[in-house]
Amino acid sequence: MIERAPISADPSAKLNINVNGREAVLDVPPSKRLLHVLREDLGLTGTKRSCEMGRCGACMVLVDGKAVNSCLAMAYQCEGKSVTTIEGLSEGGLTPVQQCFLEEGGYQCGYCTPGMVVSVTAMLANDPSPSDADIEEALSGNLCRCTGYGGIWRAVKKAIELKKEQTG
Amino acid sequence: MLLNRDTSGRRWRIRPDGPGKVTGELEYLTDLSLPNMLIGRVLRSPHPHAYIRSVDVSKALALPGVHAALTAKDVPGLNRFGIARPDYPVFCEDRVRFIGDAVAAVAAESDELAELALAAIEVDYEPLPVVDDPERAILGDSPLLYEEGNVFHRNGYKFGDIEAGFAAAAHIVEETYSTPRQMHTYMETEGGLFVPGEDGRLTAYSPTQHGFMDRMQLSRILAKPEEDIRVVSSPIGGSFGGKDELNVQPYGALLALATGRPVKLHNSRWESVRAGLKRHPMKITMKTGVDAYGRLVAHRAYVIADKGPYSTLGAEVLNFATEHVVGPYRFKAVDVDTVSAFTNNGMSGEFRGFGGNQAIFALEGQLDRLAALLGMDPWELRRRNLRRAEDPGPLGQPISVTGGAGQVWASLEGSALWRRRSEPPASAPSAPWLKRGIGAAYVMHAAGLGVGIPDPAGGRLQLRGDGKIEAFFGYEEFGQGLIASLMQMLIEMFGFAERDIVITIGDTDVVPDSGSTTASRATSMMWQSLRRLRGPFAGKLLEAASRALALPAETLAIGEDGIRGAKDGRLLLSYAALAGAAGQPIAAQTHFSYPTSPVDRVGAHYMYSYSAVAVEVEVNTLTGRVHVVDQYHAVAAGPVVNPQGYLGQIEGGSSMALGFALTEDAVMSGGHYLTKNLDTYLVPTIVEQNGAVTVDAIEELPEGDEHGPRGLGELGSVGLAPAIAEAVYQATGKRASKLPIDPALLQEPIRFN
Ligand code: FES
Ligand code: FES
């Protein structure tokens, strides 16, 4: 969860935020959702908008390494934080998680995919060999309407296997 | 063939659109923006039914930063849209008929301003009585939506002596089934960017299932020639039928032209729920009789569908249901009567399965109930009544002959999951309140638009100057893997390498009209197009190569990277060199129509796919929740064009059927939605979908079959729901005839003894 930053009374206050490793100082209202800051102010449209109420996970990003629904985080809550979006994850080429989604067909329309990849990445960073129940818990906030999750299960299992091979 | 990554071998390919999707780099049309764009918003009715006394936008227009506020009088052309019958108002003039109805639209410099502008528009409504029950809607004393009455469409079908059939029946089952207002819930809500050009043209970047249909309709609304409109319509973040009709496009287009600036619209989820299409809720009453041997002797069905206020493809959906309540069985007599009623409820329309989901849930429910009365195995009862390959279709029409019906029956019969039913459980349930059961259902599902509806198809192949083979099709990619399937066919049918190929779809300026990407037709039509193009296009390439190389054409072959020696496969001329040598473009084009049945019954179908679905469920009798443990799908839809796509269609489709059976319902009361977002509208999550899914793809077709791959896109979304209902009955002894299954029905008091 995001810790509360002190609310600034100064409406002209700027948002200091690190996005994908780069410092940014943005002139946005404190109550603006992180989702909109990313999509509209920074042009990072890999983060998707769907329910805007924390139910679908299409907007998932990492805030200080933890998966967060960016539609529920307001700008002021991100003051001084480091945000990683799907674009940030992909900067050094495809990650193993992305490679597994590609190979196993863990996507169709792809609209849920950035959020799904972010959630899987956060899950595996936290625990490299989650049980099925852990996977369900970690991904139950990411809706996919197209795949029926079959390809997503396969991709996640594959990613876990890869991790094991690499570390084992 | 059990279909999975291993059995697919090298045919399991990475989708061309995959890298952009997993990295978030792919720009959806709702991701687009331009520096000077405005934000468009639509003002919709707060009332399900009301007269409009007046609309005043002057206060909105007076707000600085608001550049347009449009109403009905600002529509230069036809103030209506709708694919089959344009009766859906762009802006309502004097009456609203549901809470998605649009009254005005604004364009402003920010979303906040646009919202403020909407609030500043003054509309004086005079509420009218709300018609919210389709059955009451068609009674004589109901308030009317239209002077002509609330009956939107009727259909029916009859043969045989139905009364004699019932008289001869050993058992008769009468039941009424009801199905939910299912929402497509594409994760990308409707939206797009609308850009006026300096040349007077307009470009609409907005998802749709048939770009040319949108272009024609926009042309009618804007009173602007079709050539002056360009519709860019892919990629799409899901559609499932829901983006088939126009949605935000009329508003975006009108606002862009009114302001001379690009306008972006992107619906909030609530706006999408409120204005978007849903699956027609249907109430289906059936009376079906069987003789002592298990022969179906009489079948009566009455279907009433909740249309909502405007046509969409509601008549076609009802016709489809009329056909599918008869289905694959050899009834001695049938009497079907169907009606679709206008109401002030949400807008029903096209949705994956297209009326088949509702019809087949009811039909299969009848078979299961009859089997129980007969004391017969339900699958055996189906066998005794199943159509033969040469039998006519459900409406007596000639259909394309395949052995699919028998094949999927046998596949399910032999499946480990179905056999487990008659074996003692391997282990006792982990808790006494958990009960397991296995059920199955049979699906015969049509594809194509049917008799009497224009159903064009076609495409174009071209060798570009840079040596790429470019394929142009007017189909859309909404996730189903259409681009991947096309790529795979070009590789396998022509021998090109992936790197040789460029695929161009979803842009009316450059693609031919290939018809709609609906009705499980696109893959079949691409396959047929390529089959027609293979000879001419390969011939032209070889002819040009023969000239360039001064070698006889018979000694040459097309292959990866270029023209190769027919015998040794050696690369002789790259495609780039061939393009250079040819001097002029080498291209081939084809145009034809989806095959139809030679009858004059509108909507009757010719091509069918078959599936049989078995499912094991675990019912928690404390909570009443049903968990799907294991699924088996036998599918007969011709050759597997793209294994990953095929599997994805069955897995994804069945997930929708799971939601339809267990959790999904856009609940309405008095014409208002109670479920406004994904907190109360529950689509399956990974937790509900943690069971195994096995798919047996039966590819075999009769010798000489001309039609190739059959429709697959909808098939998977149908059979799981009736199978779940039967599995629940097997587990608990309780019959659910209303979907989604109410957990309260399955809850049992805890007994301590
Ligand atoms: S858009 Fe943030 S959870 Fe759905
Ligand atoms: S791939 Fe379309 S929502 Fe997941």
Domain of residue A109, CATH code: 1.10.150.120
Same domain, A101 and A160: yes
b/e A68-81 (16+ beta carbons within 10 angstroms → b): bbbbbbbbbbbbeb
Cα angle, residue B144 at apex, residues B139 and B147 outer, rounded to 5°: 115
CATH of the domain at A66: 3.10.20.30
Using CB atoms, pick whichever of A45, A52, A139 lies closest to residue B27: A45
Which residue in B383, B349, B390, B361 sits closest to B739, CA to CA?
A: B361
Task: Return d(Cα B225, Cα B202) in angstroms, integer.
Answer: 11
pLDDT tier at A10, thresholds 50, 70, 90: low
> B655 near B753, Cβ under 8 Å?
no
Task: Return d(Cα B61, Cα B69) in angstroms, integer.
Answer: 6
Q: Find the domain containing A68 and state its range.
A: 13-89
> B487 near B503, Cβ under 8 Å?
yes
One DSSP character per residue, A138-155 reads: HHTT---SSSTTHHHHHH
Same domain, A25 and A82: yes
- B33-55 pLDDT, tens per residue? 999 999 999 999 999 999 999 99
Chain A contact for B241 (CB, 8 A cutoff): no
pLDDT, mean of residues A98-115: 98
> B220 near B86, Cβ under 8 Å?
yes
Q: Note the pLDDT of residue B427.
A: 72
Q: Which residue has its alpha carbon closest to ligand 1 atom 3?
A: A54
Q: B633 to each of B414, B665, B692, B718, B722, how far by Cα in Å?
A: 12, 25, 11, 11, 13
pLDDT tier at A80, thresholds 50, 70, 90: very high
Q: Is residue A3 assigned to a domain?
A: no
Look at residue A31 and tell me whether its pLDDT is greater than 70: yes
> A76 near A15, Cβ under 8 Å?
yes
Q: Is residue A5 assigned to a domain?
A: no
How many Å lie between the centroid of ligand 2 and the Cα of residue B55? 40
Q: Is residue A8 assigned to a domain?
A: no
Look at residue A11 and tell me whether its pLDDT is greater than 90: no
Specify the 3-state DSSP secondary structure of A119: helix
- B607-640 pLDDT, tens per residue? 999 999 999 999 999 999 999 999 999 999 999 9
Same domain, A68 and A105: no
How long, in residues, is chain A?
168
Q: Note the pLDDT of residue B428.
A: 72
3-class secondary structure per residue, B200-253? CCEEEECCCCCHHHHHHHHHHHHCCCHHHEEEECCCCCCCCCCCCCCCCHHHHH
Same domain, A105 and A83: no
Note if the bond before B740 is cis, omega within 30 degrees: yes
Q: Note the pLDDT of residue A13.
A: 72
**Domain ends where: A35, A69, A89?**
A89
Q: Which residues of A touch B652 (CB under 8 A)?
A: 108, 145-148, 150
Chain A contact for B682 (CB, 8 A cutoff): no
Same domain, A83 and A66: yes
Specify the 3-state DSSP secondary structure of B332: coil
Inter-chain residue contact A149 with B686, CB threshold 8 Å: yes
Q: Note the pLDDT of residue B298.
A: 98
> B265 near B336, Cβ under 8 Å?
no
- How many other CB atoms sit within 10 Å of the CB of residue B159? 14
ipTM score of the complex? 0.96
Q: Note the pLDDT of residue B350.
A: 97
- A47-75 pLDDT, tens per residue? 999 999 999 999 999 999 999 999 999 99
Q: Is residue A7 assigned to a domain?
A: no
- Torsional sign, CA B647, B648, B653, B655: positive
Look at residue A1 and tell me whether its pLDDT is greater than 50: no
- B588-610 pLDDT, tens per residue? 999 999 989 999 898 899 999 99
> B131 near B150, Cβ under 8 Å?
yes
- Interfacial B residues in 29-58 facing A (CB < 8 Å): 30-31, 33
Closest residue in B to A61 (Cα–Cα): B24
Across all residues in chain B, what is the average pLDDT?
A: 96
Q: Is residue A6 assigned to a domain?
A: no
| B592 burial type by CB count under 10 A (0-12 exposed, 13-18 middle, 19+ buried) | middle
Residues β-bridged to residue B486: none
Residues near ligand 2 with C-beta < 6 Å?
A: A 107-113, 144-147; B 187, 238, 479
Report all structural domains of chain B as residue ranges with CATH numbers, in order of start. 29-128+187-238+243-275 (3.90.1170.50), 282-450+600-746 (3.30.365.10), 456-593 (3.30.365.10)
- How many other CB atoms sit within 10 Å of the CB of residue B348? 27
- B646-659 pLDDT, tens per residue? 999 999 999 999 99
Using CB atoms, pick whichever of B25, B238, B684 lies closest to residue A111: B238
Q: Note the pLDDT of residue B129.
A: 98
Unique residue bearing structure tokens 């975006």: B252
Q: Which residues of A touch B189 (CB under 8 A)?
A: 49-50
pTM score of the predicted model: 0.96
What's the CA dihedral at B533, B539, B540, B546 to 10 degrees? 160
Rounded to a whole number of angstroms, the CA Rg of chain B reads 27
Q: Note the pLDDT of residue B651.
A: 98
**Domain ends where: A41, A63, A89?**
A89
pLDDT tier at A3, thresholds 50, 70, 90: low
Which region holds residue B660: left if phi is over 0, alpha if psi is between -120 and 50, else beta?
alpha
Sheet holding A66-69, edge to edge: A22-26, A15-19, A82-84, A60-63, A66-69
Q: Is residue A37 assigned to a domain?
A: yes
Mutate to test the pocket of ligand 1, among A38, A48, A53, A111 (most ligand atoms within 8 A of CB): A53
**Helices B314-324/B356-374 angle, 10° precision:** 20
- How many other CB atoms sit within 10 Å of the CB of residue A132? 12
Same domain, A111 and A57: no
Q: Which residue has its alpha carbon closest to ligand 2 atom 4?
A: A144
- Residue B113 belongs to what H/E stretch? helix B111-120
Inter-chain residue contact B647 with A150, CB threshold 8 Å: yes
Task: Return d(Cα B585, Cα B462) in angstroms, integer.
Answer: 7
**Domain ends where: A36, A62, A89?**
A89
Chain A contact for B235 (CB, 8 A cutoff): yes
Q: Is residue A4 assigned to a domain?
A: no
* Domain count across chain A: 2
Q: Note the pLDDT of residue B207.
A: 97
Q: B546 to chain A, minimum CA–CA distance in Å? A: 40
Using CB atoms, pick whichever of B19, B187, B648 lies closest to residue A111: B187
Report CA B155 to chain centroid distance, whole Å. Answer: 22
One DSSP character per residue, B424-477 reads: PPSS--SSTTEEEEEEEEEEEEEES--TTS--EEEEEEEE-TTS-EEEEE----
- B483-536 pLDDT, tens per residue? 999 999 999 999 999 999 999 999 999 999 999 999 889 999 999 999 999 999
Chain A contact for B687 (CB, 8 A cutoff): yes
Chain A contact for B485 (CB, 8 A cutoff): no
Q: Which residues of A touch B655 (CB under 8 A)?
A: 145, 147-149
Task: Return d(Cα B512, Cα B475) in angstroms, integer.
Answer: 9
Percent of chain B whose pLDDT exceeds 70: 100
Look at residue B67 and tell me whether its pLDDT is greater than 80: yes
Same domain, A81 and A117: no
Which residue in A106, A93, A85, A95 sits closest to A156, CA to CA?
A: A106
Specify the 3-state DSSP secondary structure of A164: helix
Amino acid at B351: F
Q: A42 to chain B, minimum CA–CA distance in Å? A: 12
pLDDT tier at B752, thresholds 50, 70, 90: low
Task: Return d(Cα B628, Cα B547) in angstroms, integer.
Answer: 62
Q: Note the pLDDT of residue B321.
A: 98
Same domain, A116 and A161: yes
Same domain, A17 and A65: yes
Same domain, A32 and A81: yes
Same domain, A18 and A83: yes
Same domain, A43 and A73: yes
How many Å lie between the centroid of ligand 1 and the Cα of residue B683? 14
Task: Return d(Cα B531, Cα A11) in angstroms, integer.
Answer: 65
pLDDT, mean of residues B702-717: 94
Ligand 2 atom nearest to CA at A146: 2
Q: Is residue A21 assigned to a domain?
A: yes
pLDDT, mean of residues B683-711: 95
Q: Which residues contact residue B619 at a Cβ distance below 8 angstroms, ignoring those fewer than 6 apart? A: B434, B435, B436, B437, B625, B626, B627, B728, B731, B732, B746
DSSP B142: S
pLDDT, mean of residues B288-313: 98
